[in-house]
Amino acid sequence: MTFKAYLENIETKTGKSPADFKNLAMKKGYLNSGKLRPDVKVGEVVAWLKQDYQLGHGHAMQSSRC
């Protein structure tokens, strides 16, 4: 599956675009100036996406790259 297809599937499932997830991650404090803070592990972001948006591991990993 391509990266684009992952993003399309995520948006269909959640109704949220990559920009929406980036804004939500900023509000959660995971990002600083649009980049993942050095003290935040990707696994923490993936766990949040899986818990709050019921994404599978692969989709959560792709979402965390946005």
Q: What are 16-55's pLDDT values in tens digits?
A: 998 999 999 999 999 999 899 999 999 999 999 999 999 9
66 within 8 A of 18, measured Cβ to Cβ: yes
User: Which residue shows structure tokens 């994404």?
Assistant: 55
pLDDT of 66 reads 65
pLDDT of 25 reads 95
Q: Which domain holds residue 45?
A: 3-64
pLDDT of 59 reads 81
Domain total of the chain = 1
Angle at 63 between CA 38 and CA 11, to 5 degrees: 150
pLDDT of 65 reads 74
pLDDT of 40 reads 96
**What DSSP designation does 55 have?**
-
Instruction: Give the C-alpha separation, 64 to 49, whole Å.
Output: 8
Label residue 63 by pLDDT band (50, 70, 90).
confident
